[in-house]
Structure 1
């Protein structure tokens, strides 16, 4: 019979391996997949399927730089004045980002309206009716 501590350690190794690979980024996942194909092809195929299913293949979720920069943004530096300045700057940048995104949305809506109006005028011209009648 296997002791409970050994079973717990054995059962948690996939999670530890996944965390270890995530720390090293996408190249580590690809290297593990290639090694799996070399050692025994179903292992490589299983890793490829897992990478696609968990979206590790096509996004930057396991990028070490991204997780490091995200954690640095919210950690305290130990200097209260700097932390207040950093929080204020981050809040201001988030507000500017929201304002810019709303500006882009209004710009897209204006472009869509302009294109739709041009389409309706062209359609009315082809049909032989005045454009004012179509818009009303």
Structure 2
């Protein structure tokens, strides 16, 4: 018995590899050539959540993440991989903390600018009131 996927699975994988645009193009072409095919593709895209996902390759990405965690059988490579993943996680955490500090600094600068403008406006209003009296 062969373990080769059917034409539908191969077509689905081919479209997934090319992204959401390929799915939409296939749907539009289906509507142009024979409208029930386009309608079937639209319903399939909605049912499988391909229409609303950020990426059509979400299954492949999940599989790749899982396979990255599995041991390879080579202890030296597995130790290197574990060390590299930890280093990448630390770098990601440091980068996210850096971005948060940037956002906080920007927020503080915007707030300080607002308060300065408000104080200047209040000072101008006081000087205008004293000039009128």
Counterpart in 2 of 1:79?
A: 74
State the shift of 1:128 in Å.
Answer: 1.1
CA gap 1:65/1:83 in 2 versus in 1, 3 angstroms: same
- 1:102 pairs, out of 97, 103, 106, with 97
Normalised TM-score (structure 1): 0.61
Aligned residue pairs total: 114
Residue range with higher mean Cα deviation, 87-96 or 37-46: 37-46
**Structure 2 residues without counterparts, runs of 5 or longer:** 1-5, 125-133
Work out whether 1:44 is the aligned partner of 2:38.
yes
CA gap 1:45/1:104 in 2 versus in 1, 3 angstroms: same
Could you tell me how far apart the structure 2 residues matched to 1:28 and 1:64 are? 17
- Please list the CA deviations of residues 83-135 of structure 1 after superposition, one character each: whole Å capped at 9, or x if unmatched: 11101110110121011101111111111111111111111101217xxxxxx
Normalised TM-score (structure 2): 0.62
Alignment root-mean-square deviation, CA: 3.5
**Structure 1 residues without counterparts, runs of 5 or longer:** 1-12, 130-136
